[in-house]
């Protein structure tokens, strides 16, 4: 799903799912830091809402990315 800011929404959601399902905080944090370019992280979401307008699942992407970033910052 394209993001004008370059946030990789599917991969951000994928890592969030892994964190929620498996709870391997150390492994998730290492993956987040080593394999995610800063420009693709949830923290770069500008909250413009363009992604939500084209999301086929009508997900609250902006709020979800903010929640994800909070959880990862807490690791």
* Digit-coded pLDDT (tens) for 13-29: 999 999 999 988 999 99
Q: What percent of the chain lies above the pLDDT cut of 70?
A: 99
pLDDT, tens digit, 9 for 90 and up, residues 4-14: 999 999 999 99
Average pLDDT over residues 56-62: 96
What's the pTM value of the predicted model, to 2 decimals?
Answer: 0.88
Running DSSP on this structure, what letter comes out for residue 41?
S
Per-residue burial over 52-63, b if 16 or more Cβ lie within 10 Å, else e, is beeeeeeeebbe
Domain boundaries, the chain: 9-73
73 close to 53: Cβ distance less than 8 angstroms: no
């Amino acid at each position: 799903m394209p993001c004008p800011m370059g946030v990789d929404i599917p991969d951000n959601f994928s890592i969030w799912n892994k964190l929620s399902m498996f709870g391997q905080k150390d492994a998730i944090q290492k993956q987040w830091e080593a394999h995610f370019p800063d420009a693709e992280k949830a923290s770069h979401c500008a909250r413009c809402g363009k992604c939500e307008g084209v999301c086929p699942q009508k997900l609250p992407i902006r709020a979800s990315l903010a929640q994800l970033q909070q959880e990862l910052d807490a690791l």
